[in-house]
Amino acid sequence: MSCTAIAPTNLALIKYWGKRDASLNLPINSSLSVTLDQRDLQTITTASFADDKDRLWVNGEEVEVESIPRTVTVLKEFRKLIPPSDPRHSRPIHLASKNSFPTAAGLASSAAGYSAMVTALAGLFELDFEGRKEEFSRIARQGSGSACRSLMGGFVAWNMGNAADGSDSQAEQICAASHWPTLEAVICVASDKKKSVSSTSGMQTSVKTSQLLGHRAEAIVPTRFEQIKRAIKDLNTECVWELTMKESNQFHACCLDTCPPIFYLTDTSRRIIHVVNELNQQGVKYAYTFDAGPNAVIFTESQNVHPLLQRLVQMFPPCRNDLRVDADYEFVRGRTRLTRAQILDDLPKKQEQAEDLSGDLLYLFHTGVGQGARILTGAEEDKYRNELFSQKN
Ligand code: DP6
């Protein structure tokens, strides 16, 4: 009577920006992403049959289902898969969902959210999730475009498709996470606030007003998409990094070309770009990318993470006089953990004053490539389900 699923977030190397059909979430170009490790950043969702009406809780707060048309669509699409004669067809459903990372801060929370929802619903209706992932990715896509890519692990393409009904616009795994297990990422969180222009409305304005976006979708992305797929398959790291940075730059150029312009990057974002360029001077080992927000994600291989973190904490140290947090505040999180006190003890006072940038980053998050969304079972399911149920009431 209930099913709990976990889903990772994903980070686009080739960006999805622009819809040719806004109600079906059909994109103007194909995109490609890396699925991040769900043990580090995840959404957990429980779907259960109920007796009252469809209801939704996000991070413990109830949200009116009818006020979110995308959620209504996802529920409707699942019910279509069940014959009307089946009593489950008309049963109300409760969904409770929890994110382990800031919602709507440009960290693809809607991607993890809708892929967890779709996975939990597939489990609730006892459908073959593993065998029908591409089909379910078309439902996740209708929740949030980027969500279709989080159903699969590793390196995932979202093929734009041509059909007007969206029947060929779906995700496809290019390589599993095990193909390139040394791929890691450092997320630089400069802000955990909701972004000022949502992806959904930003991309609509760009489609209407940016000539550059139209040119990009038609003349640039198709080649780039094939090039990066090849480079990933061949583990041609330098080529992957270069294309990733070019893509991020071009996406933000399209935002600037939008009328009125959209500014997702901040001074801190630009300083991070400089740090990466500086580190790449002796050969390209790092790639930055920014989604619809100021937070950078820097990709690199395992052996290069330590020097990167060292440079980042030196450039953007935690603020010594920050009264909002205590000494135990975790400034580096995830696979590497460092508290603010540990960093400040090591930092020469002189350098800190010279750079005068302390406090620009809230924290750094070290993670890597991982598996796609999955249904939880056994002890793992019990652990999360109990937590979500207690939050619902
Ligand atoms: C910049 O998937 O959040 O992160 O389909 O309207 O929900 P909707 O948009 P969304 O857009 C993501 C945009 C992006 C690039 C990407 O993930 O490919």
| Ligand 1 centre distance from Cα of residue 144 (Å) | 7
Q: Distance (Å, rounded) from C-alpha 177 to C-alpha 35?
A: 8
Nearest CA to ligand 1 atom 5: 145
Nearest CA to ligand 1 atom 6: 200
Confidence class for position 323, pLDDT limits 50, 70, 90: low
Closest CA to 367 of 39, 32, 6: 39
| Ligand 1 centre distance from Cα of residue 173 (Å) | 18
**Which percentage of the chain shows pLDDT scores above 90?**
82
Q: Distance (Å, rounded) from C-alpha 27 to C-alpha 162?
A: 10
Nearest CA to ligand 1 atom 11: 199
8 Å CB contact between 143 and 120 = no
Of 163-172, 337-346, 359-368, which gets the smallest average pLDDT? Answer: 337-346
When pLDDT is averaged across residues 332-352 and rounded to a whole number, the result is 82
In this prediction, residue 29 carries a pLDDT of 98
| Ligand 1 centre distance from Cα of residue 313 (Å) | 29
Residue ranges lining ligand 1, Cβ < 6 Å: 12, 15-17, 25, 31, 108, 110, 144-146, 199-200, 291-292
> pLDDT, tens digit, for every residue of 276-303?
999 999 999 999 999 999 999 999 999 9
Pocket test for ligand 1, best of 146, 149, 228, 264 (most atoms within 8 A of CB): 146
8 Å CB contact between 374 and 119 = yes
Nearest CA to ligand 1 atom 7: 144
Q: Distance (Å, rounded) from C-alpha 242 to C-alpha 283?
A: 11
In this prediction, residue 392 carries a pLDDT of 65
Indicate which atom in ligand 1 lies nearest the CA of residue 70: 7
| Ligand 1 centre distance from Cα of residue 146 (Å) | 5
> pLDDT, tens digit, for every residue of 169-194?
999 999 999 999 999 999 999 877 77
Is the per-residue pLDDT at 195 higher than 80? Answer: no
Indicate which atom in ligand 1 lies nearest the CA of residue 143: 7
Is the per-residue pLDDT at 149 higher than 60? Answer: yes
Nearest CA to ligand 1 atom 1: 291
Mean pLDDT, the chain, integer: 92
8 Å CB contact between 252 and 265 = yes
Q: Distance (Å, rounded) from C-alpha 145 to C-alpha 200?
A: 9
> pLDDT, tens digit, for every residue of 7-23?
999 999 999 999 999 99
CB atoms within 10 A of CB 207: 19
> pLDDT, tens digit, for every residue of 84-113?
999 999 999 999 999 887 654 456 578 999
Indicate which atom in ligand 1 lies nearest the CA of residue 158: 18
| Ligand 1 centre distance from Cα of residue 294 (Å) | 15
Confidence class for position 353, pLDDT limits 50, 70, 90: low
Is the per-residue pLDDT at 351 higher than 70? Answer: no
In this prediction, residue 282 carries a pLDDT of 92
Confidence class for position 387, pLDDT limits 50, 70, 90: confident
| Ligand 1 centre distance from Cα of residue 314 (Å) | 32
Angle at which helix 199-209 crosses helix 237-256, to 10 degrees, equals 70
| Ligand 1 centre distance from Cα of residue 16 (Å) | 6
| Ligand 1 centre distance from Cα of residue 97 (Å) | 20
Q: Distance (Å, rounded) from C-alpha 258 to C-alpha 264?
A: 12
In this prediction, residue 258 carries a pLDDT of 98
8 Å CB contact between 134 and 170 = yes
